[in-house]
Structure 1
Amino acid sequence: MAAGPTVADLLADPLLSGARTLAGHAGLERTVTDVTSHRGTPFDVAGHLVVCDAGDTTPAYRLDSLVRRSQEAGAAALCVMTTSADRPPLSAIRLADRLRIPVLWAVAEDPFRLALDLTLRVRAPEVLRARAVETLVRRLGTRTQGPDLLAAARDVLAADISLLTPDGSVILGDPVPLLGTLRAELAVPQRTACLVAHPVHPSGGDEPSRPAPVGAWLVWPYDRADGARADTVALGLAVLEPFVRSWLGAARTRADHDTAARLRLLEEVLAGGATVSRGVVERAVALGWRLEDWHVGLRFLADGPGPPGTDAAELTAALSRHGLDAQTVAEHEGAWAAWTSSVRRPAPDDPRRLLRLVRRALAELPSRGRLVAGIGWPHQGPGGLADTLDEANNAAQLARAREFRPAVEHTDKLGVSRLLATWQQSDVTRAFAETALAPLRSPDQAHLLTTLRVFLENGGSATGTARALGLHRNTVSARLRQVRERLGVDLDDPSRRLALQMACRAL
């Protein structure tokens, strides 16, 4: 038989959420084996939580006597039930500290019900567990939306439950940094010293005989909980899981339908060019697409095989955080078309601003090392949208050839980029590169060569280099000092920087 909860465990339980420990903190790790109500006469209370009414503590000498008798009888703790927050006499508190017996002061609207629940909590926790599950099922049966489901479970279980993606991103609830303590490869319910977690599998698995990959995790982080409390929450998560799975499946189906509809509409706009039908215009207006405005196209591509680890909503949110109100359409896995629209033609300096903002947005994404982007030139009308997206696609293809990430190219620079590509592929440039960068080409100097290359591609900005490499700015500065010493060049000289940049690209 498992050991009972400690006094500290009961204090961490929602049943005693309104209780305070007034004295005897040194005895909080005592094990509670039972709950007994005080009836004014001595009796065997060894290991018990002695519950009494506030009337048993007045006048002051009665509480003092009760504390002493409880300690002598071996009680685990004394809990005073009251409907007011008035504190007991100081003398009794000091006595309890000397005797090392915890004195709990519990404010409750219904002390009798609280005493009964505490008795069940210690003697038969499975009864409270069954009561919680019954209440939870009844509450969940009337809800269909994820936030409502989670709110009901939080209320019934009195636990801060969250719904997270497998990589730890929040779907519902609060962030949980402890997700890394789980064994993610095991798609089964898990419990650690600070976390209870239950997997949410995707609906409609292809192979029912094999566990499907985890689509999300229902988790409850806690500072302290005994086995009975953790078992109750774990069972509650298991009850909640099919409801959440159904909601996620329905949401995914709606998202797939919306994505397909947006893609079909974009294909019709691009195919129609300057002449699109009235029906297309009406559907575009319903989605908030302003086809007659000025458009700047954006194309995002995954850099390499495999899932990119992001979606259109996440990409749109990242752009929005940096002031870019863009329409985003997922064309296929690993490719997105996006565009910004404005009534007036964008200003001449807009390309530089867009480059900076898109680069920052990509740097924030979990898949920042896997995405590149291209930006088109401003064009007006439905036909202009097709033109700018085509330009953005060409720019994105060029960005894929860059070695640093996140790589973002603007179509305005494509002519210069092609010219530079011709130079850097010449034999003369390669020979210069092998000679000029020889001090940095050994394996132990590879980090310096990478830092130099990213520094030059970021226009000589140490801050931009640190952001691109995920390093502290002081680390980048220290590496650049080493580069200067080994190459013997002045990196502040624009001509030297251009020559070195061509050498890095040639290699």
Structure 2
Amino acid sequence: MDVLAQVSEATGVPAGLLVGLLPVLGAARTTGRLPDRAALDALRAAGAAAAEDGVPMRRLADACLLAAEPAAADPSPDPSVDAALLGALRRSLAAYFDGYEEAQTRAIRLEEAARRAFVDDLLHGRADRLAERAEHFGLRLAEAYTVAAARHGTPITDGDPLVRRVEQALVTRFGSHNILVAARDGLLVCVAPASLAAAVGEFTHHVRAGLDPGWRVGVGRPHRGPGGVVTSYREAADAIGLGDRLELRPQVLKAADLLVFPVLLRDRAAIEDLVATVLGPLRGARGGPEPLLDTLAAVFATQGNQTAAARRLGVSTRAVTYRLERVRRLTGFSPDDPTQRFTLETAVLGARLLGWPADAPP
């Protein structure tokens, strides 16, 4: 049995990967010549082939050392020859490893590109072999999935280290076949099975730890199928948008808790009419309608507690009482009356949704 066959049998490394090594070692042993560029390129290609074939790097290194043992076991009287043999082995190993690492890097980049394309298609509803591609990333789209999205002042992109940190943390806890984390549309997005309820909380924990104040997380409702992921993603993004427009205080907003707002917006004409009818008279207030709107919003947020509303606004309780009286005189509606309170609160929410008075019609 020749040397290549012996080494291959002993290490499990295909003999074809070692064909270029023996001539390099033989030349160094007999002539003291180090491998030239062509020889190193051939070894680099063999290293890449080893990576593509799934041969462990440790086993490849073991095979190289084992192949060099016969020459090393018969030292030359000339020390320079032994030094050349060692140098040839070192350069050969470096070439193998360079090719191996280049192939791994290339494979990682291809996988990341495929993953980005899949996430784009999944979150935007492009159904090109989604179910088949989803299985590659460990997702079973027949199940129900929940999407959470995090927003910061600066758009989050694929290159942001936060994406990798959050992904690694969630994969470590829940496994690589349960969680998908990516940056899309400036948001950090997490797709998780609805049955894995702790995933959203863990995602939020790492968002809080990784982002400066000002972040917000939206959580969509569970939905099934590829279309369900898209729906949950849109709900999560819309929850963030609603939180910003309504100036809601919670940093984590669930779409399930905000269902009334899409209902309000569904009949925009009715909301515009309500806002114009109920709040329109506030345009005539000294200083404009905004201070009175802010006061109403603070009073509603504190369940009618004017002292707490004053603290939230940074004004005196007397100022809050005065502003509420101004609202009553201008509009004819009082937050102290249960029926009128509901009308006022709905109108205030509608004003926030419409961007009134700046963006909505008078």
Work out whether the TM-score is over 0.5.
Answer: no
Identify, as 1 or 2, the structure richer in helix.
2
TM-score, length-scaled by structure 2: 0.42
Structure with more relative contact order (C-alpha pairs < 8 Å, separation 6 or more): 2
Identify, as 1 or 2, the structure richer in strand.
1
